[in-house]
Chains A and B, each alone.
Chain A
Amino acid sequence: MGPVIELRRLPCAGLLVILFACLGSYSLHAAEDPPKPEAPGAEIVDFARDVEPLFRSRCYTCHGPSKQTNDLRLDEKEAALQGGYSGRVIVPGSSAESKLIQRVASTNDAFRMPPVEPRLTAEEIATLKSWIDQGAKWSANPPVVTQQVAPSKQKRHWSFQPVRRPTAPRVRRQAWLRNPIDAFVLAKLESKGISPAPQADRAILIRRLNLDLLGLPPTPTEVDAFVSDTRPDAYERLVDRLLGSPHYGERWGRHWLDLARYADSDGYNHDAPREIWMYRDWVIGALNRDLPFDQFVIEQIAGDLLPAATKQQIVATGFHRNTLLNLEGGIDFDQYRVEAVVDRVETTGAVFLGLTLGCARCHDHKYDPVSQREFYQFYAFFNSVDELGAEYQLGADGKVGRARAQEPILEFGTAEQLARREASRAQIAVLEEELEEYEKPLRARLAACCETLTDEERSKLKPAILEILKIPPEKRSHFQNVAAEKAVKEMDLGYTERQAGIKALRDIEPKVPTTLVMRELPEPRQAYVHLGGNFLRKGIDVEPGVPAILPPLPESENANRLDLARWLVDAKNPLTPRVTVNRIWQRYFGAGLVETQNDFGTQASPRSHPDLLDWLAAEFIAQGWSLKAMHSLIVNSATYRQSSAYRPELAEMDPTNRLLGRQARLRLEAEIVRDTALAASGLFTPKVGGPSVFPPQPEGVGRLTQVDRHWAAERGADRFRRGMYTYFWRASPHPGLMLFDASDSTKTCTRRNRSNTPLQALTLLNDKAFQEFAQGLATRVLREAPDNNSERVSHAFRVCLGRQPRPTERARLEQFLAVQLDDFLTHPEKARQVVGQDAPEEADIPQLAAWLAVSRVLLNLDEFVTRE
């Protein structure tokens, strides 16, 4: 195989350079050009005179003072003898074993060093060989390399500097300020001569707060109470009330689950179901009780390693078990285990540090000060999880047991459930032993080949099996043996009866809830640099560690995941608090103060309000990492309370509203579109947590994947649960979620798109679930509002949008209603078609149908799916 091909196999950027520069990483080629034995009586080579000039002119560009590609540096004796990621390149006394010689002397263009013409001449190569064979001695006084290493611009990058706490700037319009956030924002606006937008109407404010904090709209009663609340702190009281709601944990929990790439199936081929909803519930609970963010992180990264860890702290570690699992036949388990570990590194980098660590998987990071070695040091923290990997062997049936494949898991069952299960398992064990005894003569028959079969038996077996049985057992393939054994055993009535008995017992065995968690191997797996990002190409061993650009671990010896977790949320870590407050900000304003919310490295977009970012980060720590304190701070600001109405006069100066001269209008997230309609319909089941559920979905969704998963729509209260509880199959997710930009849950998602498409229109217009919501809303309006169209229109409007209709809107809706009602009164059969057979007996069918049509209009309004 030519190296050009190999090159293309490697997965990531910049490989061309790397492979060329990857001195000695390619043992396959070692034999290609064996170095000739040293000629006797060769001249003594002098480093300073003969070797250093060669290194200087041909190697230092990539392996010198300013750059060390693949961590190889040739201008310093110690570093040069130590080698690079692939290990030693100079073996003093043996040019034959020295990769340096193999590379410079190679005839393979892609492998040879230096990568650019001209090649080293035969004499130059001979000189290097002799120098190595003579012991690779450096001169006593090596010439000083004059080139100075410039202090790296990367290292001075703002995000790596400690968090400061700037004082709030002075502004002219003091009266506008509600808290320090406003001073930072207003100062910037004033510097451009812009005044902030007026405060939004109260009805809009309460809907905004409700949607932002709970993901559910306010009821008309709640709106009235707030609008008429004249107390000066009415707004603050509202905020406090909402932050105390159990739905707060759901709303902000769903944001967190995007980061955690949470789903209910394992991805890849079979996309088998997995049970990890307890992790989802842990997130909701932790947010509701305002578990300080530092603790929130520690428990998710390393709850299992905490001294005297509680069961719930271990559940929290499901965070990094949301990785995909490949159980396709014919795979190398370790390959996909490695992918999962890499994903943990990338996710940790993006979620907490805002760093694209994954870029350093195959080579040193192109933009940020993260080397490939540092990537694998970080990788080492997550490499010793006791999960499916190379050490797992296939079972006799050629499959890994599903239960085992999911490990490690934590079980939750009542004592009674567990006792019953133990009893059942003991019984099964006895029966299995019996079965094994019973099987022995059957197995013997298999070994004896075809001759011993009676004609009657032959008639029971398929021709293909009879063919297999003609082959001597030792010559049959694994698959043939499995097939033959199964067929011969199943021919026997006693066997099948016994087997069915065991199966029946298994089927009634009590099922206890489980959840995927982290657990360390008794002996850690040694991590190593994967040369070129390929796990089969082992480089030097590495130990757990963090990038040198960031503050060091307190104890660098034998650091484990718990040390990493604590380091992530150490008050000295400049990234975690900044990245976290920025992401919170993004949820409220549509974009972060740093727009590249997942990249705070040197490629980050410029900060819109650098001082505000730092002030928020410092305040977050000062508030004991309380997330609720940060929410309260932001939503109480005058900045947040501004109207979101478009300001044409700012369009040119600030087209993307980076200066925050108004609030943003934000289309609701996929789950919240559902939740809002559900709440308006009056059908909403407010239950928090529990196993995922199956609301209606259009038929045929699962047909487009390998295993068409049965989707039986819930019939009871679970039919009307929030969108975040919808069972998420990664290979065939609920289309209503995907069309509204939900994350596909294969990778950490730090920010969703907000698209606006015809397929969204079709969903809201025609989807069965939304039909039910429209019918619910119609029923509710007819039940709750006084018996006249004007009052009913007002009520429907208030239920959906939190405000009264404007006169033109009222007129248009009433006109639409009149047309519909007229038609349904004339054609009651059409009305019956619209409301379906399940409509209550006492209902006025034409009225209900007409109001269903009106409700459908309201549920489709842009304003309905938008946070103003």
Chain B
Amino acid sequence: MKKTILILSAIFVASFSFAQMPDKFVKAMGANIARIDTAKTAQDWIDITAAFERIAEAEKNQWLPYYYVALGNVMSGTMSLGDNMYGNNMDKTDPKADAAEKALNKAISLSKETSETWVVKKMIISLRMLGDVMSRAMSAMPEATAALDNAKKLDANNPRIYILEGQDKYYTPEQYGGSKDEAKVLFEKAQKLFETFKPETSIHPNWGKNQIGYFLSLYK
């Protein structure tokens, strides 16, 4: 009996430590992903990004932490601009866009180009554009469109594609091709896609419902 218990406990301890890696990884990832929904400020995103960075640095072979590092850098970069979207923001946007790009390339090298990586790629292009809209928009806009096209090519049912399209439509002045009505259609399309969208695992990209909720609330 004693032996059995010892063996059992040995197995228990061994299996515990064996399972620890992915479990600890999934748990740590999950905890940080949960923080995405409540992130409201640039500082929140800086904290989240740092947490993902730590996981990425410790694991090195997982692409997801790098994906979230890229996303986090774009988000904190964009949020740090506040209302000053059309000024000379290069000192804020470029280091963040560079960091995001580096992480995204790492994520792609560990996995492959997916609809999700193209979504983040588009966000990086847009962030960089905000560094100096006047002189960068001309080249950034077609680049951003191309990135979303690639995202659609790989998975046309990725709701995040349409959130970004909707956002662009929403914020672009009407004279420049923006339209709040067309934006609404896109947000609703994204919302509908979320009903059927299933992330591969609990820690794969699944963000965006909050953004849709926010934008649709603006129409009420």
The answer on A and B forming one complex is no
Residues on A lying within 8 angstroms of B by beta carbon are none
Interfacial residues, chain B to chain A (CB-CB below 8 A): none
